[in-house]
Amino acid sequence: MKFDLHSHTHCSDGVLSPAELVMRATARGVNALAITDHDTVAGLAPAQAAISEQQLPLQLVNGVEISTRWQQLEIHIVGLNIDPDCPLFLERLALQQQRRLERAEEMARRLEKSQIPDVLPAVLALANGAALTRTHFARHLVNIGKASSINNVFKKYLGRGKTGYVPSNWVEMADAVQWIHDAGGVAVLAHPLKYQLTTKWVKRLAEQFAAAGGDAIEIISPQQTPVQKRELWALCQLHGLTASVGSDFHQQTSWNDLGKNLYLTDDVTPVWHNWALN
Ligand code: AMP
Ligand code: MN
Ligand code: MN
Ligand code: MN
């Protein structure tokens, strides 16, 4: 079975609709796909509807990616197998969305001071009701010629410490783990090597995530080396965690696609080891 347990739709900052995403996953040979949009579960019902209507041979895993705070850093925690109808969970995600809106307003104010006016209406139009992310800001700034690529927008304006960067009051990492458990899911530390931390800090992060009751670490992303995968699996073993795999797909690129390079070796206990799968 091929698993991809981290992906985005246009309900947050992915480019495909939920229906397009599940069709692409099926075409790419994925058997179990988690949709993990930023602080929203809005893509799950339409994805399941598309799977049922077209009788796709794909199991949908109900997921979410929560932006959290840990030690002044922004750490992403993926929830898998959460109940997307849990009222308390939906209330909590609504709080995160409110924080996204407030952050966006402040980001627009800061960009305006840097002579980039009228950003907010354009970003709201681009997002079209989706969870408001920095990616939407980045797309707009590329559109108006402020940078040549999304990545360059982050380097110039939106990355930590840059003009348009606004730290947000996200939920604490440990509380996000609890939110996910309260919604019946398992908590996964997302892409631990993407936070630009030293090895010492990655270890500290894994330790505190485990201490907070976290369940698994994403040890496989398409661009990670075999050595990195082994080191992350060693961290899982040290703390009694299982391993997850995910492409973090937002759109097709030369280095990333659904289900790409997500192989786990036999010695690894996957996060799905005790799941009932069809
Ligand atoms: P937000 O959750 O609004 O803070 O936005 C974070 C999102 O921005 C991430 O999920 C990525 O999709 C995207 N992102 C962050 N850094 C970069 C980067 N350097 N290049 C392209 N996209 C990025
Ligand atoms: Mn994203
Ligand atoms: Mn992330
Ligand atoms: Mn993601």
Interval 196-222: pLDDT, tens: 999 999 999 999 999 999 999 999 888
Pick the closest to residue 24 from 203, 247, 233 (CA basis). 247
Residue to mutate (ligand 1; options 11, 68, 105, 134; most atoms within 8 A of CB): 134
Q: Distance, CA 266 to ligand 1 centroid (Å)?
A: 32
Q: Distance, CA 65 to ligand 3 centroid (Å)?
A: 7
- Ligand 1 atom nearest residue 13's Cα: 12
Whether 227 shows a pLDDT value over 80: the answer reads yes
Decide: 250 in ligand 1 pocket, CB within 6 A: yes
Q: pTM of the entire structure?
A: 0.98
Q: Give the chain's end-to-end CA distance (angstroms, integer).
A: 11
Decide: 154 in ligand 1 pocket, CB within 6 A: yes
- Report pLDDT for 42: 98
Rounded CA separation 205/174 (Å): 11
Q: What is the mean pLDDT of residues 182-194?
A: 98
Rounded CA separation 104/108 (Å): 6
Decide: 62 in ligand 1 pocket, CB within 6 A: no
Write phi, then psi, for 130 (nearest 5 degrees).
Answer: -75, 165
Residue 193 DSSP code? G
- Ligand 1 atom nearest residue 67's Cα: 2
How many residues does the structure list for the chain?
278
- Report pLDDT for 13: 98
Whether 223 shows a pLDDT value over 90: the answer reads no
Cα 123 to Cα 117, 127, 131, 136, 220, distances in angstroms: 12, 6, 11, 6, 32
Rounded CA separation 38/8 (Å): 8
Whether 188 shows a pLDDT value over 80: the answer reads yes
- Report pLDDT for 221: 87
Domains annotated on the chain, with CATH: 3-86+172-245 (3.20.20.140), 93-158 (1.10.150.650)
Q: What is the mean pLDDT of residues 121-134?
A: 98
Q: Whose alpha carbon is nearest atom 3 of ligand 1?
A: 133
**Among residues of the chain, what percentage have pLDDT more than 70?**
100
Q: Which residues surround ligand 2, an ion (CB under 5 A)?
A: 13
- Report pLDDT for 67: 98
Rounded CA separation 141/177 (Å): 34
Burial grade of 53 (CB within 10 A; 0-12, 13-18, 19 or more) = exposed
Ligand minimally distant from the alpha carbon of residue 249? 4
Q: Are the C-beta atoms of 189 and 70 separated by less than 8 Å? A: no
Q: Distance, CA 190 to ligand 3 centroid (Å)?
A: 6
Ligand minimally distant from the alpha carbon of residue 247? 4
Q: What is the mean pLDDT of residues 119-124?
A: 98
- Report pLDDT for 216: 98
Q: Are the C-beta atoms of 88 and 182 separated by less than 8 Å? A: yes
Beta bridge partners of 13: none
Mean confidence (pLDDT) of the chain: 97
Structure tokens given for 52: 């049922």
- Report pLDDT for 6: 98
Rounded CA separation 195/108 (Å): 24
Q: What is the mean pLDDT of residues 221-239?
A: 94
Which residue shows structure tokens 């309260």? 182
Q: What is the mean pLDDT of residues 177-192?
A: 98
- Report pLDDT for 275: 96
- Report pLDDT for 184: 98
CA neighbours closer than 13 Å in the CB half-sphere of residue 98 = 7
Q: Lowest-pLDDT range, 122-131, 218-227, 244-253?
A: 218-227
pLDDT in tens, 141-182: 999 999 999 999 999 999 999 999 999 999 999 999 999 999
Whether 278 shows a pLDDT value over 80: the answer reads no
Which residue shows structure tokens 């990492």? 173
pLDDT in tens, 11-49: 999 999 999 999 999 999 999 999 999 999 999 999 999
**Among residues of the chain, what percentage have pLDDT more than 90?**
95
